[in-house]
Amino acid sequence: MNGYSGQTLIVNLTKKTIETKPTDMELAKKYIGGIGLAMRLVYDYIEAGVDPLSPNNPLILATGPVGGTMWPTAGNGHVFAAKSPLTNTIGESKAHGFFGAELKRAGYDVVIILGKSDKPVYLWIDDDSVQLMDATFLWGKTPLETEERIKKELGDSNIRVASIGPAGEKLVRIAAIINEISRACGRCGMGTVMGSKNMKAIAVRGSGDVTIADVEGFLDFCKVFYERAKGPKTRKYRTLGTAENILTHNKIGSLPTRNFTNATFEGAEKVSGEYISERFVDNIVACGGCPMRCEHVAVVSDGAYKGSIARMEYESVWAFGPNCGIDNIEGVIKAIELCNVYGMDTISCGVIVGFAMDCFENKILTKKDTDGIELKFGNTEAMIKIIKMMGERTGLGDILAEGVKRAAEKIGKGSDKLANHIKGLEMTGYDVRGLKTAALGYAVSFRGADHNRHGAYGFDVGGQVNRFIVEKGRGVLVKKREDFYTIIDSFILCKFSRGLYQNDHEDAAKLYRILTGFDMTTEDMRKAGERISNYARIFNIREGFTRKDDTVPIKSMTTPVPEDCVAKGAVVKQKEIDFLLDEYYEIRGWTKEGVPTIEKLKELDMEEFIKVVKPKIAATPTGGSKRKSGR
Amino acid sequence: MVTTRKKFISADPKKCVGCQICEYVCALEKDKVFNPLKSRIRTVRLYPKNLALACRLCEDAPCGTACPRKAVEQAPETGVILIDDEKCDGCGWCIEACEFGAITLHPESKVVVCCDLCDGEPVCVEWCPEEALELTTTDVLAQKARISATKKLFQATVETKS
């Protein structure tokens, strides 16, 4: 088979059974692969209302049709999908590196992991030979130690490993699944789901060929993209890396600082991409098959955090830097390294630390709660201690490990007003008070607070719209981006290469034809992108999510930007959210309550979900409450 | 004197990012498949350092000397390692003899494979996005090293003066 390997692996940890079956190609064509196919398959293995940490939540690993090829920035990715223990929505998280290509060469499009093992295990996929291995000796080990020990036990240093760290074992809800030291399926607590199954890791060795339909066509198209990859669209990733965003956002007042209180940071210079590149970046490395190579590896060469090594990305640097009021970049590097050690999402972790600091500053938490730690903004040492406490679930860390939403519920005292999350997933580094298109993207993102589902900040930061107001047209912008981002994550391409797809779905459809040999028009591809977005919405609706969940954090709606800067006074108002949602739902062909209509489902060949939306539409016969709101 | 001008593929450790594109294009060129395991050039990643390795065309190549079946021989003019698929039975003595891991057993044919420089136009050099690979000679590498060392010396002198 071309583009797909054609095989799906099903592992039942409760029954200790392993079987393969042909990949459902009808579903693969409709949902492409990657997050599309993986999220869709979750539906087939889960009932509504299942506890995400129970054995009844499937964990689904998938590659995509471009996997195992040298397509620029792609071919090396993999995704995990399951119901998220942070949000109870559909959860998905992808990573690049080398693991995905290895899995594809081993011959699998999808690996479905069901049930729960009675003792720690890891899955060993060696082409056609698949076994569950005892992982008792790996329990408590970091992802890096796990990877090294598995390679040693199996006697091959080229084996690829994706594993959880101590945080995943302890069911810290922000746990990640980490591959190749620094690559993480970080968001949505996929590592927590793996931990809940008593599963430590997946090790893969694949020796098979990856075949595609049109090799000559592939090479020609590949050359076009290699040239584009050397151009201006990828300059940032190739030079300073995403950390360049620190100063960009600081300048325009969209750099969330001190737990989203301020929108500029006086210490930005000292945690900027420029500063890091000049002083700390030891090397820039690539994922498999990528001509852009963006991984800026920073090393601390002396001082208190000597020897710390971590990959520098804007989100991670922002989360522990500006967001915690910290301008000590060495401490930030240490914090990121600790997340790789415990196996936690850097974004969620930084937002939770920022939240705890905000609580301390507001006397909601005192030294009694923090074991004597002076948990103030800007205190690097305190941040490091709290991260360790979270990774180990000790003291206050045990509460924080539940994620910011649940932690606020436990702490009480109005701390929910300081908890920056949407649907339970921690916010990312964009201050939506001064980025109103992004505010819509964040509000409707199906996995909770997330910039990677829409990239709508691009319109705001790039100046294509007036970012301080809401107006007609934002819904279209967000929808279009969302429906292409679902395609990017389903192939699986790297988001950093999104600018190379000048013709969005047209380029994607052509690539799909080259890879698979299947018919796929631009319109089909557009429909596939929209179908994946709608599917995710339907999953969430079945779990009880409604219009009221499509919002932004309370703090962004109650705290206008206080300091003197271009964004001073900016805030998101409820009527603005309502205005944005009304237009967005309408453009999506959804009801006023945000439920996909039966006509829309028919248009997208999704008739099997009519039974989910029908009762929701029937419940609001008028088509939802009337909202008349403007700017 | 001719032997010192033998061309081989050299990777600059300062430039190599470990992306494997050389592996992908090599396997595509030689075997028409996407499979780095079938590449004649291989990358090594020792995080965060990387290097691609291919045959260095050694003088009196130890792989050739090691072969008990005369299946591995060196072309006298170019120095390229020639493998006789009929004679090779995959015993692996040449693999043990090579200090660079530049000769490997093909996973399917079970005979050894080695870089043949693609008739003088190596695809890996053509595709390397970092220009880390080049088809070069030990003479050229030595020249470069001398120039770089001299530059460093003058740089140091300038800095001491200022």
- Label residue A346 by pLDDT band (50, 70, 90): very high
Neighbours of B156 (CB within 10 A): 10
- Residue B157 binned pLDDT confidence (cut-offs 50, 70, 90): confident
| Mean pLDDT computed over A63-92 | 97
pLDDT of residue A243 exceeding 60, the answer is yes
Query: Given B24, B38, B107, which is nearest A70 (Cβ)?
Result: B24
Q: In 3-state terms, what secondary structure has residue A361?
A: helix
Q: Do B130 and A105 touch (CB under 8 A)?
A: no
Contacts of A219 in chain B (CB under 8 A): 28
- Does A608 score more than 50 pLDDT? yes
The whole-number average pLDDT for the span A107-113 is 98
**What is the structure's pLDDT at B159?**
72
> Does the residue B162 lie in any domain?
no
CB contact under 8 A, B47 and A282: no
User: Is A284 within 8 Å of chain B by CB?
Assistant: yes
* Class of residue A24 by CB neighbours under 10 A (exposed 0-12, middle 13-18, buried 19+): middle
Maximum Cα interatomic distance, chain B, rounded to a whole number of Å: 66
Judge whether B156 lies within some domain: no
* Predicted confidence (pLDDT) per residue in A326-340, tens digit: 999 999 999 999 999
Q: Indicate whether A500 pLDDT > 60.
A: yes
**Rounded Cα–Cα distance for residues A406 and A527 (Å):** 37
Decide: A326 and A305 in contact? Cβ < 8 Å: no
Q: What average pLDDT does range A603-621 have in this prediction?
A: 91
Model confidence at B162, in pLDDT bands (50, 70, 90)? Answer: low
Structural domain range at position B116: 2-137
CA distances from B111 to B70, B85, B88 (A): 13, 6, 6
A68 vs B: CB within 8 A: yes
Q: Which of A366, A394, A67 is nearest to A210 (CA)?
A: A67
Mean pLDDT for all residues in chain A: 96
pLDDT of A628 > 80? The answer is no
CB-CB under 8 Å, B25 with A207: no
Residue A626 scores a pLDDT above 50: no
Distance from CA of B127 to the nearest CA of A (A): 9
Paired sense of beta strands A7-12 and A110-114, if any: parallel
Reported CATH class of domain A432-619: mainly alpha
With respect to residue B43, please indicate whether it lies within any of the assigned structural domains.
Answer: yes
Among residues A488, A455, A459, A461, which one has the least CA distance to residue A471? A459
How would DSSP label each residue in A278-320?
HHTEEEEE--TT-SS--EEEEE--SSTTTT-EEE--HHHHHHH
Q: Where are the domains of chain A?
A: 7-205, 249-426, 432-619
CATH number of the domain located at residue range(s) A7-205 in this protein:
3.60.9.10
Whole-number Å distance between alpha carbons of A451 and A417: 21
pLDDT mean over A50-54: 98
Say yes or no to pLDDT of B1 above 70. no
pLDDT of residue B2: 45
| Distance (Å, whole) CA B54 – CA B16 | 13
pLDDT at A623 over 50: no
- Confidence check: pLDDT of A308 > 70: yes
The string of pLDDT tens digits covering residues A534-547 is 999 999 999 999 99
Q: Tell if the CB–CB gap between A229 and B25 is shorter than 8 Å.
A: no
Residue A268 amino acid letter: A
Given a contact cutoff of 8 angstroms between Cβ atoms, the answer to whether A485 and A72 are in contact is no
Flag if B47 and A181 touch (Cβ within 8 Å).
Answer: yes
Terminal alpha carbon distance of chain B:
44
Q: Which residues of chain A lie closer than 8 angstroms to B101, CB-CB?
A: none
Candidate from A68, A180, A297 with C-beta closest to B34: A68
Show the tokens assigned to A423.
């649907």
Answer yes or no: is pLDDT of A557 > 70.
yes
* Distances B36 to A124, A288, A573, B47, B91 between C-alpha atoms, Å: 21, 10, 54, 19, 22
pLDDT band of residue B158 (cuts 50, 70, 90) is confident
Residue A631 pLDDT class (50, 70, 90 cuts): very low
Q: Kindly report the nearest CA distance between residue B59 and chain A, in angstroms.
A: 30
Instruction: Using a CB–CB cutoff of 8 Å, tell me whether A213 touches chain B.
Output: no
Q: What is the CATH number of the domain that holds B128?
A: 3.30.70.20
Mean pLDDT of A281-295: 94
CATH topology of domain A249-426: 1.10.569
Q: Which candidate, A297, A222, A243, A211, places its Cα nearest to that of A493?
A: A222
Q: Are strands A129-134 and A121-126 parallel, antiparallel or unpaired?
A: antiparallel
Instruction: Using the predicted structure, report yes or no on whether residue A629 has a pLDDT greater than 50.
Output: no
Amino acid code (one letter) for B4: T
Alpha helices in B71-137 (DSSP H): 93-97, 123-127
- Averaged pLDDT for residues B32-58: 95
Chain A residues within an 8 Å CB radius of B50? 283, 285-286
Q: What angle do CA A58, A59, A62 make, to 5 degrees?
A: 125
Whether residue B152 lies inside any domain: the answer is no
pLDDT band of A386, cuts 50, 70, 90:
very high
Q: Is A241 on the interface with B (CB under 8 A)?
A: no
Inform me whether the pLDDT recorded for A403 exceeds 50: yes
| Binary contact (A284, B28; C-beta < 8 A) | no
Percent of chain B topping pLDDT 70? 96
Are B48 and A180 in contact (CB < 8 Å)? no
Contact state of B17 with A286 under an 8 Å Cβ cutoff: yes
Average pLDDT over residues B90-105: 97
3-state SS string for A72-93: CCCCCCEEEEEECCCCCCEEEE
Q: What is the mean pLDDT of residues B30-46?
A: 95
Q: By the 8 A CB rule, do B30 and B108 touch?
A: no
Is B48 in contact with A293 (Cβ distance < 8 A)?
no
Tally of domains in chain B: 1
Residues 6+ apart with CB under 8 A from B91: B68, B69
Tell me, yes or no, if the two domains A7-205 and A432-619 fold the same way. no
pLDDT, averaged across chain B: 93
Chain B nearest CA to A182, separation (Å)? 10
Region A485-508: mean pLDDT is 96
8 Å CB contact between B71 and B87: yes
**Angstroms from A264 CA to nearest CA on chain B:** 33
CA distance A220 to A336: 40
Provide the pLDDT for residue A123. Answer: 98
Select from A601, A508, A593, A592 the least CA-distant residue to A546. A593
User: pLDDT tens digit string along B65-84?
Assistant: 999 999 999 999 899 999 99
